Amino acid sequence: MKDWPPIYFYVPSTMFDAWPGNENEYMSWAEGEKHLGVAAWIVLTYLRLKAHGYPVERCSELPRRGIVITHTRVLRDGSLRPRPDVLLVCAEGDRGRCINADIHVVQNPLQERQSWFWKRRYIPHWTQPGLMPRDPQRGDKVETVGYLGTEFNLDPELRSDVWLAGLKRLNLRWETRFPSQAWTRYDDLDCVVTIRGFHKHWNDIWKPASKLFNAWRADVIPLVSADSAMEWHGVAGEDYLRVDSLQHLLATLEQLKNDPSLCQKLRHNMARRRAEISGDVQLGNWVHLIDSLLVPAYFRKRRQGATMRVPAAAWRVLTYGLDWADRWRRYYGGRISAKLRAEEFRGYV
């Protein structure tokens, strides 16, 4: 750490005119912000590193030198051009790459493998700040199923009469909690549906495993469909349950309701996995990233002349379109696959 150059977390004042002073203030501050991805990746990371004594600063204007960490949403239009003595690091989130960034931080491990010769490093997203875990007094009962996330991402099948009728048959209560409705509350839940859509989301390789991690932290059993990030980290049948259709989801809930030993096994394994995603571990991921990749890359860039920097910039320009083409191919490929299998869902929605 003694050899770290200046490290800044950058967000322009046009996006955030004020930052919270510490993590305790973060939750109430973030509730009023529309740029939640930028807040989670940049503001929260800065606050946690700063609180643990690391020499990081925040800025609203691009400095003349140092490592600058920001978010794709800040850099998307490509108008920000860093000086030669600045290493620009971009957290992609759900937004994709920035053409002017030297290094990208990604939230799905498969993104690191598909780099088109760009420098990308995977770091798991922070788990939900202010999360309220399940009340341990609930024991192994399965009475309440929840969905915590944006209303837009709630699959249509989970709004259907078939779904609601199935829950009623099983005597289960259904809770949907969107950002404005206490989506940090897991205290009265037994299971959580982390499904973005049946059959179609393995190709969304830019999505994180955050919902799985939050469920582990909250001690609430996660029910997961095809999802690359969650399947990378979890083990189906051990620390989450995989479901492939609406009827499979209802059958799995019935199994959980009738088999307390399965609930006990899952929660035992989830407790073991919680240690792997603790705040200290996630903080260590950032410190290791800065120490092992960003600091050496910064000094290496400063030593390089223009003859080395220009080809690197040109390569980013040439491959930028290929990256977006591949991203949209995967996205629309997933949607088309879902449409082609629509016969399976006839009568469900």
Helix 260-274 to helix 210-218 angle (10° resolution) is: 110
Q: Which of 79-88, 261-270, 329-338 has the lowest mean pLDDT?
A: 329-338
Q: Classify residue 4 by burial, with Cβ atoms within 10 Å: 0-12, 13-18, 19+.
A: middle
**d(Cα 39, Cα 45) in Å, to the nearest integer?**
9
- Averaged pLDDT, 325-335: 56
SS3 158: helix
Strands 103-106 and 221-224: unpaired
Yes or no: domain 136-276 corresponds to CATH 3.50.50.60: no
Residue 94 scores a pLDDT above 90: no
- Averaged pLDDT, 3-10: 93
Residue 154: C-alpha distances to residues 27, 138, 193, 207 (Å) = 23, 26, 10, 15
Q: What is the per-residue pLDDT across 195-223, written as a single tens digit (0 to 9) for each?
A: 877 765 555 677 899 999 999 999 999 99
**d(Cα 312, Cα 97) in Å, to the nearest integer?**
15
Domain extent listing, the chain: 7-126+278-334, 136-276
- Averaged pLDDT, 263-270: 96
